[in-house]
Chain A
Amino acid sequence: MSALPPDADEFLRTHTRTFLVTLRPDGAPTCHPMVGLYHEGALYLTTYRKSAKVRNLTADPRVACVVVTQDDDPEFRGIVLRGRAEVLAAGAVMPWTPETPRPAGTGAGVARLVQSRVAEGKRVVVRVVPDEMKAI
C-alpha cells in the first residue's frame, strides 16, 4: 500500500470496477463485486434493498471499497477507500454523468433498468464516504 497518486481523483472518476468488503453477522469479512461511481468525494453503489450487503452494512457501516482496473490490465492498479456506508433515502439516484465509463457490455438499458428498480424501492443507493484512501 502506498500514498495516493496525484491522479487518484481522476482514476476514481474513470473506473467503476469495485469490490465492496463488508462484515457478516459473525464478524468475518465478505466481498462483493459491484459497479461504483465516484462523485464529489464519495463512492456510490446500488444493490437490492433485501441483499446481504445491505443487511451487513446496516448492522455495521464500516466498509472497504477497492476500485481497480481489469485483472489483465498490464498496468493493474487500484485505490482502496475505507470508511462508512449509508443507505440513502428513497429518491436518491446514482450519479451517472456523461464522462462515467459504462462497464463492458453494459448499455443504457441496464442503467435504466437499475434506476427503475431504485425508483420502485427494490434497489437502494449506498454512499460510502472514505475516512482513509490508499493506492495499491
Chain B
Amino acid sequence: MPRERIAMSAEEIAAFLAAKRTAMLGLRGADGAPDGAPATISYRDGVLVVELPADGEVARDVLGDPRIVVSVEEYPSYARIRGVAVHGRAVSIGAAEGRERFRVDQPRIESFDFAKMKRTPAE
C-alpha cells in the first residue's frame, strides 16, 4: 500500500512517541546478523532516548555498531494499527542505576496509521 498516504503527521508522531515507554529495538548483533530486543524509551522535545541494561549483550552490540531502529506499534484492532519506526545512530549519553542510555541521532522516521486508509479493511 502507498505508505505516504497513511503516514502520521509530525504532531501525531510526537504525541505517539511521547506516550510510549516500551519499544522494540532492531540492531545488528556481534555476528553482524539482525537482532532484536525490547527497550525502554522516552521522547521529549524531539529527542528519543533508549535505555538498555548496562553491560548487557544488547548494549554492547549497540556500542559496537550504533545503527539502530526503534519500533513502536499499537494494535487495538486491524483497522486501527499504528506504528512509528525511528532509524538512527545510537550515541551513549551515560549509564546510571544499571541502565545504559542512548540518544538516537540523525533520526529518520517512518510511520503508518491504518485508520487513514480510505477503505477500511475487513474486520
- Which residues of A are found within 8 Å of B107, using beta-carbon distances? none
Tell me whether A68 and B38 are in contact in the complex, defined as CB-CB below 8 angstroms, given that A30-B85, A105-B123, A113-B122 are known contacts: yes
Interface string of A96-113 (1 = CB under 8 A from B): 000000011111011011
Contacting pair B71 A32 (CB below 8 A): yes
**Residue on A nearest B79 in the bound complex, by CB:** A105
**Complex partner residue of A31 from B26, B33, B79, B80, CB under 8 angstroms:** B26
Give the residues from 25 to 70 in chain B that come closer than 8 angstroms, CB to CB, to chain A: 25-29, 32-38, 56-58, 67-70
Contacting pair A31 B78 (CB below 8 A): no
Contacting pair B34 A63 (CB below 8 A): yes
A-B CB contacts (within 8 Å), total count: 111
**Residue on A nearest B27 in the bound complex, by CB:** A29
Say yes or no: is B100 at the interface (Cβ < 8 Å to chain A).
no
For chain A, the bracket of interface size reads 35 or more
A-B contact pairs, 16 of them (CB 8 A): A1-B57, A19-B24, A19-B36, A19-B71, A31-B24, A31-B26, A32-B71, A33-B73, A64-B35, A68-B38, A80-B35, A103-B78, A107-B122, A107-B123, A110-B123, A112-B122
Q: Which 6 A-B pairs have the closest CB atoms?
A: A105-B77, A109-B122, A31-B26, A31-B71, A66-B36, A33-B73
Given A22-B34, A23-B34, A29-B68, 18 other A-B contacts at CB below 8 A?
A1-B58, A19-B24, A21-B34, A21-B69, A23-B28, A30-B69, A30-B85, A31-B24, A31-B36, A31-B70, A31-B71, A63-B34, A64-B34, A66-B24, A71-B22, A82-B34, A106-B123, A113-B121
